[in-house]
Every structure is written in structure tokens, then in C-alpha cells.
Amino acid sequence: MSSDDTWPPLPPVQTGIRGRCPRCGQGHLFSGFLTLRPSCEVCGLDYSFADPADGPAFFVICFACIPSVALALWIEVAFNAPYWVHIFTTLPFMLLTCIPPLRPLKGWLVASQYFYKAEEGKLAGANSHHVEPTIPARSA
């Protein structure tokens, strides 16, 4: 495998949204709809660093589910629609706005983690270089 220094940095939007390797831009990021591959088949980058957790779902909830629920409420209040109307209007709208963005968002988050070298946060230990603030002495 090769080091990261031999590869030019690629923007996360360019690689992640297309589901490509964040290092080489050629290999595939996913082996299923949302399942990450263990590594890139082209450059060998190990994808174990990637952990977008619930990020894609959070963004979808904020930007797709809320408008879908607002549409359902508007249809209900404005037309006093029966349930079958919601099945043919709100349900397709919700499915089309919530499921397709998950994969590009997950790819973008994984590529961003690689690009910005994000890693798990660590608490400062007892041997850290923490300096206690000093209070200046008052002059009399």
C-alpha cells in the first residue's frame, strides 16, 4: 500500500457524494446501499477510520423529514383527507426525500473525515501541559 503523501488531496464533495474512495477518487466506498467496504480496491486505503455514526440520518431528519411531516399536516388540515390520500401523497414524498440522500451524505461524511483527518477526541491526562491561571497580587 502507499502513503497518503503520494495522493493529491481530493475535495470531500467530489469523492463522497459519488461514493468514491476519499484518497484516490477511483475505488468504491460502498459494498451495499450504506455498507462501507473494508478498504479501497484501487489504492488499498483502509476504511476502518470512518465512522459517520448517525450523521446522515440526522441531516435527513432535519432537511427531509420535517418538510414531509409539514406536508402531511397541511394536507390533513386543509383538506381533512382520509388515510388513503396520505398513503398516495405523503408516503411517496417522504420515501423519495428521505432514502436517496442517505448514501451521498454518508459518503460525504466519510470523505470529510479522511480529508480533515478527523479522529476521536481525547481528554487531557494528568501529565498534560495544563497551566493554572495565576491571580496577580494586589499592590497596596
Q: pLDDT of 30-62, one tens digit each? A: 999 999 999 999 999 999 999 888 999 999 988
Q: Do the domain assignments include residue 122? A: no
Q: Do the domain assignments include residue 84? A: yes
Q: pLDDT of 65-81, one tens digit each? A: 889 999 999 999 999 99
Its domain, for residue 33, covers 4-115
Residues 11 and 7: their CA atoms lie apart, in Å, by 12
> Cell triple for residue 102?
442517505
Q: Do the domain assignments include residue 41? A: yes
Q: Do the domain assignments include residue 86? A: yes
Number of domains, the chain: 1
pLDDT above 60: residue 130: no
pTM above 0.95, yes or no: no
Report long-range pairs for 4-10 (Cβ below 8 Å, ≥24 apart): 7/43, 9/115, 10/111, 10/115
Q: Do the domain assignments include residue 26? A: yes
Q: Do the domain assignments include residue 120? A: no
Q: Do the domain assignments include residue 93? A: yes
Q: Do the domain assignments include residue 63? A: yes
pLDDT above 60: residue 14: yes
> Cell triple for residue 121?
477526541
For residue 89, count other CB atoms closer than 10 A to its CB: 15
More confident of the two residues 120 and 85: 85
